[in-house]
Structure 1
Amino acid sequence: MAPSSTSPFETPIPPSTTDVLVVGGGINGCGIARDLSGRGVRVLLCEQDDLAAHTSSASTKLIHGGLRYLEYGEFGLVRKALAEREVLLRVAPHLIAPMRFVMPHDPGMRPAWMIRLGLWLYDHLARREVLPASQAIDLAHDPAGAALQPGWRRGFAYADGWVDDARLVVLNARDAADRGATVLTRTRCTALRRTPDGWLATLQPRDGGPAWSVHARVVVNAAGPWAESLLREQAGIAPARHLRLVRGSHIVVPRLFDHDSAYLLQASDRRVVFAIPYERDYTLIGTTDVEHRDDPAAACIDADETAYLCREAGRYFRRPVSPADVVWHYSGVRPLLEDASDDPSAVTRDYRLELDTRDGAALLTVWGGKITTYRTLATEAARRLAPLLGATTDDWTRCAPLPGGDATRLFGTDGGPMAAMRRLLDHIGTRWPWLPAPVRERWVRAYGTSCLDWLQGAQRPADLGDEVAPGLYEVELRHWVTREWARSADDMLWRRSKLGLHLSPAQREAVHDWIARHVPAAPLPDAAHQVPPNAAHHVPPNAEKP
């Protein structure tokens, strides 16, 4: 029996039958749900926690080809990712932005000719329209050199994309729902049983409510780090492949430099470490590659990882970096396809789709993948399932903006989608001059044109509701709850936004209190309300659960 729903803030009533059940609310699951829904397929997506609660919100926040993958001969993956980088810059110009990367040259790591060759391939493996070509730079004269120790004189610069990874997941889910999908968060798939005409799935709400059954013609296993265990434990199927779980951890420290370029640093172990401008006041440093053998949900940085990231950053920057500087950190587990490599960094980041159609019950399992290629993965998955579902095989998502990414519709195509987003920002500043500049800039980056929905008719700040925390009005909180499935302060302050980095404990507590008053059956207080030992008034080290 399906649970009832009487409030717009509560879980919607799920269907008892569906064409496709997608298990997993990360980037791949939400991307597949969106693609199939746009083809007229009935989709039900269930996620055991919040959307993007695990791997998909724990990335380095990059839309990139993966320059370092060239060293491992992953030319096909890099070409695919580079081509997709251009697509995503066009369809999500509010969430994804070009970013310049500076690579100080360490001749003891890789000779200059090798770097130049790699960058030439990076420039030419796929067609490039938005981003500039790479170049050699003199760090003594480039602004990026000022933050580096004097010994770094020569370098290279290239371009990639930066992304708000958690919001990318949420907006794929939002578009799927707008096209007819049902999205159930905090709902676990506890059993999958083959039937003569599909699958019978048992779904269990995390709040302890009664479980119910759903019949699906097709099941998509997009459970990420749990994909192998879902087959074995819920479906009773012996997996044909195995995952290698690799933990990637990141640290956030007060800003190390005063410009908008990022750095790719050649680490002493021949890996690479990124240092990226983050949330205006901070620098994001990552990532590590550590074998993870515990529960993926319990992934957390250890002291050795923190020391490693601080040490490698300290080799380059004038300002020393120590564990005491870390104001926040997060970790996620990458579900990589098992291979014979002894080096976790060398394990392929490409994906593989495995379709099992035994006994007339189709099961598609997603193995591996990376955030940059999620849309191509979703398209390939939809094409493979289309003949079973009577759906079209058109690659419709290639040109369809994600919600809020359609500024060209309102402000013209001159200069492309990113220029239209800048005109949107100017329009909001002119039409609503009383809205603080940091708020309108954040809203345009997070929501694009969607923020106009709640700005229409607003004449003064009071029309946006109470300012629950600095720059956070009730209208945005209600949007997160009613349109983006947020239910806790963690959801709101660490995934729908990163406001947790900027708010004091008392201000974060005010958000929790608002949830307690307005959201029925809100989860218990979570880690976002704990005060960290070494982060002044900022945020707990493990505030965003991986």
Structure 2
Amino acid sequence: MSSETPEYDLVVVGGGVNGTGIAMDAAGRGLKVMLCEMHDLASATSSSSSKLIHGGLRYLEHYEFKLVRQALAERESLLRNAPHIMWPMRFRLPYQSHLRPAWMIRTGLFLYDHLAKRELLKGSNSIQFNGGSPLVSEISKGFEYSDGWVDDARLVVLTAKAAQEQGADVRTRTRCTRAERDGKYWSVTLTDQITGDQSHLRCKAMVNATGPWVSALFKDTLNIPAPKQIRMVKGSHIVVPKIHDEPEAYILQNADERIIFVIPYEDDFSLIGTTDVDYEGDPKKAVISQEETEYLIGIVNDYFKNKLSPSDVVWSYSGVRPLMDDEGGSAHTASRDYTFEVDEEKGKAPLISVFGGKITTYRKLAEAATDRICGFFPKAGESWTRHAPLPGGDFTSQEDLLNAFKIEYPWLPSGLAHRYVRTYGTRTRVMLEGCESMGDMGRHCGGNLYAREIDYLLNHEWARDAEDIVWRRTKLGLRLTAPELSGIQDYLDHHSQQFSRKVVHSA
């Protein structure tokens, strides 16, 4: 390669929650970092979770006390660092004596309350269900505890944004098609997935954080044997019009020892999931099966007065979780813990590969991986992310920020202001800079989506197409019609053409 080949300390392959977390942490410690993602940020597993920041109550049954303790501790950090996209939520567990005895549930909840320090979240308690409960009349007792809700895709995007603001070079729609060791460096080839153009760079260390593709990257790109395999498990969710008006989520036990969540979602809907099914094939092609839909609906109908049918499903999604392969056991008992493998030889550039993990512990995983990476960079700084707000999260209360926006933007409809608080937090001010009325918001694209927001997502959050905007940057796809979605794509295509003309003219 020529002397003009760009050089980085670290290249991170994979734009999910783990990859962006490592890129953010490493860039903040002073490393020169580049992150590449072959699709959009959070386009696979990281946008297909149950949207929970939780310790994993059911993991206690499998004796994963270390994982639960770590996840419980992380809840507090994440809730403080991103109050716009995360908030506490109470969970109700209806009691079914033939599934788990009361003493077992009480013991589990006691551990859940005390395994880690808890400041923001209320402890557990027993509850009684009366005639006004949304549950069937046969269920009269239960338990209640606290966990957290998260907009998973926005968590990834904001972590990538934080990485960029720490100096990282973030490239989406960019595939790492070849990487080979050249002494103390990796020689890396990147391919633009839109234009097909190739670029070359070199780096002193690499991270393989490609989630379900972590083992395949060794064969397809690195041309070296994978140190271990992952177990791909498909988890599917359905979204239906809300089946009750309470703010609490429900955690439902089933005879197969699995649990299903019913979570209030986007004000007017209920999110139901998840399944656990072993999966083979391309993770991007995972879709819910009829059997999974019927399974989820069947469990909900066993508990709730309001009965569902498949025709009630307004949206579904499936994600493939890359779990550590224990070569045995059922999919739902496979460990959600993580590990990373370090491939290093004296005098040669190192490779760190991430296996497993869960969204709640992403920051801790990133910190541990970056600690290991920094062993190769003696001048790197110390860990710093535990108390670092994500972009837009530098405030304490959604209510206080909403009240501030009412004063700053009295012309902004309350529903729209509320959504901006829960999506962009204080970065709403960047998006609305110069706006003095709704007339300044530009074209109305359906629902409460305006051109001003689309432009912000294009210019600040790597959005490229309608799916990026209405399903990952927001969840407005639940409310938009097919013609409105087509109109958004037309707007984006026009914007892309204008951008191309500017580039040609400036050249």
Structure 2-normalised TM-score?
0.96
Q: How far apart are 1:15 and its partner, in Å?
A: 7.3
Pick from 84, 87, 92 the counterpart of residue 94 of structure 1: 84
Q: How far apart are 1:520 and its partner, in Å?
A: 4.0
Check whether the contact 1:103–1:263 (CA below 8 A) recurs between aligned residues. yes
Secondary structure of 2:375 counterpart: helix
Pick from 323, 345, 353 the counterpart of residue 365 of structure 1: 353
Check whether the contact 1:382–1:393 (CA below 8 A) recurs between aligned residues. no
1:27 paired to 2:14: no
Equivalent residue number for residue 172 of structure 1: 159
Q: How far apart are 1:455 and its partner, in Å?
A: 2.6
Pick from 115, 121, 140 the counterpart of residue 130 of structure 2: 140
Q: Deviations over 1:248-283 (max 9, x none)?
A: 000001110001100000012110000001111110
Q: How far apart are 1:296 and its partner, in Å?
A: 0.8
Superposed, which structure 2 residues align to 1:513-532 within 5 Å?
Answer: 513-520=490-497
Check whether the contact 1:268–1:312 (CA below 8 A) recurs between aligned residues. no
Secondary structure of 1:49 counterpart: coil
Equivalent residue number for residue 401 of structure 2: 424
1:467 to 1:487, Cα distance in 2 relative to 1, 3 A: same
Equivalent residue number for residue 233 of structure 1: 220
Check whether the contact 2:457–2:469 (CA below 8 A) recurs between aligned residues. yes
Pick from 177, 188, 204 the counterpart of residue 191 of structure 2: 204
Check whether the contact 1:82–1:125 (CA below 8 A) recurs between aligned residues. yes
Secondary structure of 1:315 counterpart: helix
1:393 to 1:379, Cα distance in 2 relative to 1, 3 A: farther
Pick from 34, 40, 49 the counterpart of residue 50 of structure 1: 40
1:333 paired to 2:330: no
Equivalent residue number for residue 6 of structure 2: 16
Q: Deviations over 1:441-485 (max 9, x none)?
A: 110001110001233432211122222223112111011111100
Tell me how far apart the structure 2 counterparts of residues 214 and 152 of structure 1 sit (CA, whole Å).
Answer: 62
Secondary structure of 1:161 counterpart: strand
Letter in 1 for 2:270: T
Superposed, which structure 2 residues align to 1:256-295 within 5 Å?
Answer: 256-295=243-282
Secondary structure of 2:146 counterpart: strand
Check whether the contact 1:104–1:152 (CA below 8 A) recurs between aligned residues. yes
Equivalent residue number for residue 120 of structure 2: 130
Tell me how far apart the structure 2 counterparts of residues 363 and 325 of structure 1 sit (CA, whole Å).
Answer: 47
Equivalent residue number for residue 502 of structure 2: none
Secondary structure of 1:190 counterpart: strand
Superposed, which structure 2 residues align to 1:216-255 within 5 Å?
Answer: 216-255=203-242
Q: Deviations over 1:145-169 (max 9, x none)?
A: 6211111100000010000000000
1:442 paired to 2:419: yes
1:71 paired to 2:61: yes
Equivalent residue number for residue 465 of structure 1: 442
Tell me how far apart the structure 1 counterparts of residues 392 and 29 of structure 2 sit (CA, whole Å).
Answer: 21
Equivalent residue number for residue 313 of structure 1: 300
Tell me how far apart the structure 2 counterparts of residues 388 and 308 of structure 1 sit (CA, whole Å).
Answer: 49
Secondary structure of 2:424 counterpart: helix
1:394 paired to 2:358: no
Equivalent residue number for residue 502 of structure 1: 479
1:153 paired to 2:143: no
Check whether the contact 1:383–1:393 (CA below 8 A) recurs between aligned residues. no
Letter in 2 for 1:368: G
Which is worse superposed, 287-296 or 205-214?
Answer: 205-214
Letter in 2 for 1:129: E
Tell me how far apart the structure 1 counterparts of residues 290 and 296 of structure 2 sit (CA, whole Å).
Answer: 10
Q: How far apart are 1:440 and its partner, in Å?
A: 0.5
Letter in 1 for 2:232: L
Check whether the contact 2:30–2:381 (CA below 8 A) recurs between aligned residues. no
Tell me how far apart the structure 1 counterparts of residues 36 and 215 of structure 2 sit (CA, whole Å).
Answer: 17
Structure 2 stretches lacking a partner, 5+ long: 500-507
Which is worse superposed, 467-476 or 34-43?
Answer: 467-476
Q: Deviations over 1:298-344 (max 9, x none)?
A: 11111110110000111101011111111100000000010033211
Number of positions where the alignment pairs a residue of Structure 1 with one of Structure 2:
497
Secondary structure of 1:147 counterpart: coil
Tell me how far apart the structure 1 counterparts of residues 199 and 404 of structure 2 sit (CA, whole Å).
Answer: 48
Equivalent residue number for residue 540 of structure 1: none
Equivalent residue number for residue 343 of structure 2: 356
Q: Deviations over 1:161-207 (max 9, x none)?
A: 00000000000000111111111111111111011121011111111
Question: What is the root-mean-square deviation of aligned Cα atoms in Å?
Answer: 1.6
Check whether the contact 2:432–2:452 (CA below 8 A) recurs between aligned residues. no
User: Runs (4+) of structure 1 moved beyond 3 Å?
Assistant: none
Structure 1-normalised TM-score?
0.89
Tell me how far apart the structure 2 counterparts of residues 42 and 234 of structure 1 sit (CA, whole Å).
Answer: 22
Q: How far apart are 1:429 and its partner, in Å?
A: 1.4
Secondary structure of 1:20 counterpart: strand
Q: How far apart are 1:424 and its partner, in Å?
A: 1.0
Letter in 1 for 2:371: R
Pick from 22, 25, 36 the counterpart of residue 26 of structure 2: 36
Q: Deviations over 1:18-42 (max 9, x none)?
A: 1111000000000000001111111
Which is worse superposed, 494-503 or 460-469?
Answer: 460-469
Tell me how far apart the structure 2 counterparts of residues 178 and 483 of structure 1 sit (CA, whole Å).
Answer: 11
1:378 paired to 2:366: yes
Equivalent residue number for residue 504 of structure 2: none
Structure 1 stretches lacking a partner, 5+ long: 3-13, 408-416, 523-546
Q: Deviations over 1:384-407 (max 9, x none)?
A: 111212343522111110000002
Pick from 179, 183, 189 the counterpart of residue 176 of structure 2: 189
Tell me how far apart the structure 2 counterparts of residues 116 and 495 of structure 1 sit (CA, whole Å).
Answer: 37
Secondary structure of 1:467 counterpart: coil
Tell me how far apart the structure 2 counterparts of residues 457 and 492 of structure 1 sit (CA, whole Å).
Answer: 22
